[in-house]
Structure 1
Amino acid sequence: MSPTKNLDTLTDQLCAALLVPDDPAQMRRLLTDLCTPAEVRTLAERWHVARLLDRTDMSYRDIHEATGVSTTTIVRVARFLRQEPHMGYRQTIDALEAANAG
């Protein structure tokens, strides 16, 4: 391994590391080492908002009032959940639902 500033390489390496933990406790330990408490909170809030948008009929305003997450963040999560081609939220929500159903 050699030092790099290449974002694609760095991102690929991060993705590989995130695939290593095989249970929530291990992932929590990695996230605690990798992220600041504020960064973990931000990621957790975005994930929570994505699931609320997918599983409920709550308005953006209702989600904001219930969670304290900014409406700007809620709109961004909704856009990535429903419109952007990456489909990361969608694929993960669907995979978790399939795993829980099986």
Structure 2
Amino acid sequence: MKRRSLEPLQPRAQAEEGLCRALLAMRDVGEMRAFLRDLCTPAEVEALVDRWSVVPHLLAGTPYREIHDLTAVSITTVGRVARYLNQGNGGYLAAAARAQQSRKPRRAADASIEPGLSCRAADAKAKPDKPRRAAQVRA
């Protein structure tokens, strides 16, 4: 994290919440893409895209080296994403569940997303008071 010589007038938690609300306010992919391109440098967008592109492969149990071959994302990055899938805050799982659900016709609120992953499972993973682990991702 960068160091600042002055304390900001707005507390960090409040600023982070504002960013989260701005992200949630985007109505479609085009708006989100424009916002990300304004918010982030091209290298930062590329890093986000790299991380997100390996998530489906990890959830499917694809070996790290094969993910690297398929995506050209470094094995170090693949490992980092896998670690956050298994020990993070549940954000990857919730986003993956919702993204896959939005691509399918809605049948039920808790329709299966991936083997062993549903929106409810992803929601439970995202809640810090209910620790759950994703299926262990293996190399």
TM-score, scaled relative to structure 2: 0.64
Report what 1:23 is aligned to.
28
Report what 1:41 is aligned to.
46
Gaps of 5+ in 1: none
Residue 25 of structure 2: SS of its match in structure 1?
Answer: coil
- In 1, the alpha carbon distance for the partners of 2:52 and 2:67 equals 13
Report what 1:90 is aligned to.
93
- By percentage of residues, which structure has more helix? 1
Mapping 1:44-83, distance limit 5 Å = 44-54=49-59, 56-83=60-87
Question: Which amino acid counterpart does residue 36 of structure 2 have in structure 1?
Answer: L
Residue 44 of structure 1: SS of its match in structure 2?
Answer: helix
Deviation at 1:96?
A: 1.9
Residue 38 of structure 1: SS of its match in structure 2?
Answer: helix
- In 1, the alpha carbon distance for the partners of 2:33 and 2:71 equals 21
Larger-Rg structure: 2
Deviation at 1:100?
A: 2.4
TM-score, scaled relative to structure 1: 0.85
RMSD of equivalent CA atoms: 1.6
For this pair of structures, how many residues does the alignment match? 98
- In 1, the alpha carbon distance for the partners of 2:58 and 2:14 equals 32
Gaps of 5+ in 2: 1-7, 107-139
Deviation at 1:87?
A: 0.3
Residue 19 of structure 1: SS of its match in structure 2?
Answer: helix
Checking the alignment, whether the CA contact within 8 Å between 1:49 and 1:63 is kept in structure 2 is yes
Residue 22 of structure 1: SS of its match in structure 2?
Answer: coil
